[in-house]
Structures are given as structure tokens and as C-alpha cells.
Amino acid sequence: MKNRVVITGIGAITPIGIGKDAFWNALLEGKSGIDKITRFDATEYTAQVAGEVHDFDPTEYIDKKESKRMDRCTQFAVAATKLAFEDSKMDLDREDRDRIGVIIGTGIGGIETLHNQYTTLFDKGPGRVSPFFIPMMIGNMAAGQTSIIFKLNGPSSCVVTACATGTNSIGDAFKLIQHGEAEVMVAGGTEACISPAAVAGFCSMKALCSDYNNEPQKASRPFDKKRSGFVMGEGAGVVILESLEHALERGAYIYAEVVGYGSNSDAYHITSPSPGGVQAAKCMEKALKDANLKPEQIDYINAHGTSTHLNDLTETAAIKSLFGKHAYELSVSSIKSMTGHLLGAAGGIECIATALTIDNNIMPPTINYTEPDEELDLDYVPNQAREKVVNVALSNSLGFGGHNACLILKKYVK
């Protein structure tokens, strides 16, 4: 018998709000977190907008001395974990910490630290490079520091699957609990990539939207005919997963049950999705099979929905291919229209949004949807949140390198 797995705690650090309530309320209001880049001078960049996290003070969550030894992406992860544990009302002093693990991934890792230390190396020489450079930069430190700070001795690892990272992290953690390898898992993704080198790299790929530098809040427009590239975002999304037995034993509030997980590869191209979304459809199908559900039981899809021409076209094609007639009866939306694309953290905050959708029976909108594309003809919940009883929902993540990941969440029923 496999253990049932539920979500009992939520930690969100996002461009539209810090904490579960601020994040969720902003989603329902259709609030955009996209604005001009302030973390560096982006005047000479073709894309000059991003979803930055404002009013984040790491010392509210982490000892001041320790916070200085962490890259911003690790700070986000630790802060989101603290918020998630607080939300779960779990008393760690009463728990078996050998049975609590961490899987927090990142797509890029400590790139801000990398940039700063290379500047120091070139300007001042090797003797001035920080002794904390390497442990601040390497991607696994989000999970490592989280394990250390909260004294969690269970399985600890870091997933790096580009934009599918957060979803793979939660899916892998789900499987560990399901098969009895852990009782509680801290899982999700983190990213702090609004730095000169990262933005320059994406600009050179022509992947970023550069058409709305003077109208930042209109830049991210998934599924809209005028979409022209994604908008970078930063932040972290972390959930507390527990076996149902453990959650009930301590009287935890349950947001949703995790019932299915699928993961596969396009094996096609380093950045472009495979034509027709064949493997993305198979990934969703794997998640449905894992959950023992039929396609027509899905009420809502939290789409990857990046606002690039190819992604939105491919994901829509994949949904239509798998769901057939039911594709026109379910609803689809992309919160990236508000948050931007948080890369390795995207799947984390989108899992949170999906759980809250199920818990509240309200679907967040796809904002900036003003001109339908003839090839994209599904219900994308345009511009305004909508009430709907959502019993089962699916969350997609599709990453560079061909990584596809899908989670299925369900209303908890005894």
C-alpha cells in the first residue's frame, strides 16, 4: 500500500507578494508584478523588465550573519521554508527529524554571487575572492542550508531541470513519502536570476519580451496573439508534504492531496519544445495514470504558459491531443502573466497556486489576454479570476533541455 500524500504548508516569495495570503490575493486581483529592472542598470539591454521581489529582508527569516553567507536564491528558499513551516503549524521539536527531508531545486543557482565574485577577481585579484564564494554559488545550497537551519536529517537533494525544477522537486518528494522513505518533505524551487549575465544571456537567445519596455505590466501575455517572449522573475515556492496519516495525527489543515506525477523528456532540442507537444501530452498522460484518473476528471490546468510563441502553441496542442473534446470543457490559466517566469521556482509557486485553487474553488486569471490567437482556442480564464468547483487540477512545467513534469492535485476526501 502506498502512502497518501497531502500539502499542509505553503511558503511563497514572489514578485506579487510574500507569504501565502499576499500571493493568493494578488493572483485573484490580477495584479502584475512586472516592472522595470532595478537590480542593475538594464538601459543597454533589449529586454528591460522583470518580476523582482521587493521588500524582502532576509534578516526577518535568517540570522544576519548567516544570511550574508547565502546567495539571494538560498535566502529565498530558507525564507519560503520558514513561512511554509509556520503555515503548517508543525512543531519540529516534537518530530522525528530523521524522517523529514528536503528537495529544493534551482535552475541557475547562485548566479548573482558568481557575477559579483568574478568582478572582484578581475578588479582586485584572486586573494580578494570570498572564502564563501563556492558554498554560496553552488545550486544544492538551497536544499543544504535549509536542511542545516531546520535540522532536517532525512533525504536531501537538489533537482536541476531548468523550468521544470520546482515541479520535479515536489514530484520526487511526493514519491519518497508515498513509498515510505520519509514522513514529511520540504519541497519546491527557488531562483534569483535577475542579474546582468543571466538577463544578457536570455536576451541574446531572443527569448525575452522586449516589446513592452515602456509598459512593463503588459509584457507577459500567455496565449495572447501579441505574445513575444517570456519575462524573467525571481522568488521561491515551497510546500510541506506529509503522509496523510502523519497529517491527521497532528490535526493539520490539508490544502490538497497530491495524487499523480509524471516526468519525461522531449529528447528533441536544447531550448525548443518538440512539435505538436507529443511528449508533453505523454507526460500529462503518465501523471493521470499514476493518479488512476481519466482525462475527463480534470477540471483545471495551471499551464506552464510562458508567453513565448512556441511554448503556448505546443502546450495548447498537447492539451488538445490528450484531452480531446474535454479540452474545451476544462479551464486553463497561466499565473506567469502576473509573476513572470521564475525558472526553477516556477513549478513551486504554480503548485501552490494550484493547491489554493482547489482549496478555494477560484481559478486565477491569465491577464493581458486581449487578442485571441486563432490557433489557441481553449478557455484561458482571461483577465479575471473565476469561481468554479475544482476537484482535480493539473500543473504543467516544461523546461529547456526537453524536461517535462506534471503534478496532479485533488481535493482531500477522507
Which amino acids are annotated catalytic? 163, 304, 341
Compute the CA torsion angle 239, 245, 248, 249 (nearest 10 deg). Answer: -110
Integer CA distances (angstroms), 346 to 27, 62, 88, 150, 187, in order: 14, 23, 21, 24, 13
Give 272's Cβ-side CA count (13 Å radius): 9
Distance, CA of 337 to CA of 305 (rounded, Å): 8
Integer CA distances (angstroms), 232 to 102, 164, 313, 343, in order: 26, 15, 20, 8
C-alpha cell at 19: 507569504
Task: Count Cβ atoms within 10 A of the Cβ of residue 388 and give its class: 0-12 exposed, 13-18 middle, 19 or more buried.
Answer: middle
What region, left, alpha or beta, does residue 215 occupy, with left being phi > 0 and alpha being psi -120 to 50 degrees? Answer: beta
Helix (H) or strand (E) holding 188: strand 184-191
C-alpha cell at 357: 485553487
Q: What angle do CA 341, 155, 286 make, to 5 degrees?
A: 55
Distance, CA of 124 to CA of 110 (rounded, Å): 21
The CA radius of gyration of the chain, in Å to the nearest whole number, is 20
Cβ atoms of 305 and 222 within 8 Å: the answer is: yes
What is the DSSP-derived secondary structure letter of residue 382?
B
